[in-house]
Structure 1
């Protein structure tokens, strides 16, 4: 069984790093991620630079519950809540009309991918931080995603400001989330199943 005890000091360090515009390496409900304050454009820029990621490829954000969606999306189709509640796998939904986020976190077409995360460390971090966190796979763009902590390259580990201790011993293989694009009309399509 996975460890569910969250060390307060570990949580505080991650929180302080986010508040100071830093980058964290952290476990999620899918794979390990590189994250920062999704409302801080300078921090988001650092993540793009670290990954060597094309600025046209947007990143996703994590929220700790679906009540927060209205703070970051202009129009939420009712079906969004049903989709979030009915899935048994982590699911990222791409919404139109992103708002209240760093401009460079939002795709050129105004969309943003959002996942309501179900992970003990992430939930506690997000609840305390009170803002969304960027989440992008812990790898350099073009390289294979790391499915657990041991697979993350030293290059990534050296480049972040804080590495979360929680979950480092878990060697099970994480999988990326389902990705679905949701139109304001409620029409949806799968991008990745």
Structure 2
């Protein structure tokens, strides 16, 4: 299923369709402020497993992150952070950044393994944030990669739908995506460290 949503004013009826897919354990492909993402409700183990198989990784070894609608979800999944780290997040989110934080015990066990961290994303994209807000918990997030060596990320939602219609239950057309991924910042020590420079300049 391919549905069109506009960032300025996402249609509630269409959002309901997306929520229905997520709640029934489906996989969706959605726009962010960087590349298109593929994901599911993080509380649905079977759906998470399916995404991990697509990425050809074990869940606990994967670098998938959680998309939150705002910073109020932070304490649900991350251990308490210092004031300076909180200010850093507040200054840069919503935005094209993934912040790696120490995970707390609420993070579903299948994500953790030996890994004690969680990646948090609050994209500057109203479509996916509104979906997460109405769902009530984060969506798993991992980028769509392309086999094309020139173009690492597919940006056209219609081509994405053509390519993934047998895998994803629903593709959201939110217009052309970007082909630069998010910047990743490791905040697990006192001094935040950029581990992948992608889109966006971090305001420190």
Q: Which TM-score applies when normalising by structure 2?
A: 0.80
- Relative to structure 1, is the Cα distance of residues 97 and 107 closer, same or farther in structure 2, using a 3 angstrom cutoff? same
Question: What is the Cα deviation at residue 107 of structure 1?
Answer: 6.1
- Among 82, 107, 118, the alignment partner of 1:112 is 118
Q: Kindly report the root-mean-square deviation, in angstroms, between the aligned alpha carbons of the 2 structures.
A: 2.5
Structure 1 pair 63/72, CA: closer, same or farther in 2 (3 Å)?
same
Count the aligned residue pairs: 188
Unaligned runs of 5+ residues in structure 1 are none
Distance 2:30 2:177 in 1: 15
Q: 1:44: Cα distance to partner?
A: 0.6
Distance apart, 1:179 and its partner CA: 0.3
Counterpart among 168, 190, 201 of residue 160 in structure 1: 168
Q: Deviation of residue 151 (structure 1)?
A: 5.3
Q: 1:75 to 1:24 in 2, by over 3 A?
A: same
Residue 109 to residue 52, structure 1, CA distance change in 2 (3 Å): closer
Does the residue aligned with 1:99 lie in a helix, a strand or coil?
A: coil
Say if 1:92 and 1:180, in contact at 8 Å, map to a contact too: yes
**SS of equivalent residue, structure 2 residue 166:** helix
Matching residue of 2:46: 42
- Give the unaligned 5+ runs of structure 2: 1-5, 198-204
Structure 1 residue 26: deviation in Å? Answer: 0.7
The answer to whether the Cα contact below 8 Å between 2:28 and 2:39 also exists between their aligned partners in 1 is yes
Q: Which residue of 2 aligns with 1:28?
A: 32
